[in-house]
Structure 1
Amino acid sequence: MLDDLKVLVEIESPSLDVEAVTTSANAVGAMIERHLGGDVRLVDSPVGPHVHWSGGGEPKVLLLGHHDTVFPIGTLAERPFRVEDGIATGPGVFDMLGGIVQALHGLAALDDLSGVEILLSADEEVGSLHSRDLIEARAAACGNVLVLEPSADGGALKTGRKGCGTFDVVISGRAAHAGLEPEKGVNALVEAAHQVLAIATFARPEVGTTVTPTVASAGTADNVVPAQARIRVDVRVESADEKERVEAAMAALRPVDPASTIEVNGSISRPPMPESASATLFPLASRAVPGIAGYAVGGGSDGNFTAAIGVPTLDGLGAVGGGAHADSEHLVVATMPARAALVANVVAQLTHPSSTPGV
Structure 2
Amino acid sequence: MTGINQQRLVDHFIELVKIDSESGNEKAIAETLAEQLGQLGFRVQRLPVDDALSNGFNLYARLPGSLPGSTLLSCHMDTVSPGNGITPIIENGIIRSDGTTILGGDDKSGIAAIMEAIRVLQHQNRPHQTVELAFTVYEEGGLHGSKQFDMSLIESGQAIVLDSGGDIGTIITTAPGQQNLKITLEGKPAHAGLAPEQGINALTVAAEAISKMTLSRIDNETTANIGIVRGGNATNIVMPSLYLEAEARSLDDHKLAAQVHHMVDTFKQAATHHGAGLNIDSQRAYNAYRIEDNHPLVEQIRTAFCAMGVEPKTRATGGGSDANIFNEKGLTTVNLSTGMAKVHTTEEQIAIDDMVAISQFLTHFLAS
TM-score, normalisation: structure 1: 0.86
After TM superposition, give the deviation of residue 185 of structure 1 in Å: 0.7
Whether the aligned pair in 1 keeps the contact of 2:47 and 2:150 (CA below 8 Å) is: no
Partner of 2:319: 299
Whether the aligned pair in 1 keeps the contact of 2:79 and 2:104 (CA below 8 Å) is: no
What is the total number of aligned residue pairs between the two structures?
Answer: 339
Partner of 1:83: 90
Partner of 1:282: 298
Q: 1:124 aligns with which of 116, 131, 139?
A: 139
User: Superposition RMSD on alpha carbons, in Å?
Assistant: 2.5
- Is 1:49 matched with 2:54? no
Partner of 1:68: 78
Whether the aligned pair in 1 keeps the contact of 2:180 and 2:247 (CA below 8 Å) is: yes
Partners of 2:150 and 2:290 lie apart in 1 by 18
After TM superposition, give the deviation of residue 197 of structure 1 in Å: 3.0
TM-score, normalisation: structure 2: 0.84
After TM superposition, give the deviation of residue 259 of structure 1 in Å: 2.4
Partners of 2:354 and 2:284 lie apart in 1 by 34
- Is 1:190 matched with 2:212? no
Partner of 2:44: 40
After TM superposition, give the deviation of residue 105 of structure 1 in Å: 1.1
Whether the aligned pair in 1 keeps the contact of 2:146 and 2:326 (CA below 8 Å) is: no
- Which structure dedicates a bigger proportion of its chain to strand? 2
The amino acid of 2:91's aligned partner reads E
The amino acid of 2:288's aligned partner reads P
Whether the aligned pair in 2 keeps the contact of 1:235 and 1:268 (CA below 8 Å) is: no
Bigger mean CA deviation after superposition, 303-312 or 169-178: 303-312
Partners of 2:256 and 2:346 lie apart in 1 by 32
After TM superposition, give the deviation of residue 137 of structure 1 in Å: 4.2
- Is 1:22 matched with 2:27? yes
The amino acid of 1:102's aligned partner reads A
Identity, % of aligned positions: 23
Q: 1:85 to 1:12 in 2, by over 3 A?
A: same
Q: 1:325 aligns with which of 336, 340, 344?
A: 344
Partners of 1:123 and 1:74 lie apart in 2 by 15
Bigger mean CA deviation after superposition, 319-328 or 112-121: 112-121
Q: 1:62 to 1:277 in 2, by over 3 A?
A: farther
Partners of 1:153 and 1:190 lie apart in 2 by 45
- Is 1:152 matched with 2:162? no
* Contiguous gaps of at least 5 residues in structure 2: 1-8
The amino acid of 1:126's aligned partner reads G
Q: 1:205 aligns with which of 211, 218, 227?
A: 218
Partner of 2:108: 97
- What SS class does the counterpart of residue 273 from structure 2 fall into? coil
- What SS class does the counterpart of residue 125 from structure 1 fall into? coil
* Contiguous gaps of at least 5 residues in structure 1: 349-355
CA-to-partner distance for each residue in 1:31-71, whole Å, 9 max, x for gaps? 2223x313321112221211110114797211111101112
- What SS class does the counterpart of residue 289 from structure 1 fall into? helix
Partners of 1:59 and 1:226 lie apart in 2 by 61
- What SS class does the counterpart of residue 134 from structure 1 fall into? coil
CA-to-partner distance for each residue in 1:147-170, whole Å, 9 max, x for gaps? 011332465222221122432211
Q: 1:277 to 1:198 in 2, by over 3 A?
A: farther
The amino acid of 1:101's aligned partner reads A
- What SS class does the counterpart of residue 336 from structure 2 fall into? coil
The amino acid of 1:200's aligned partner reads T
Partners of 1:72 and 1:338 lie apart in 2 by 28
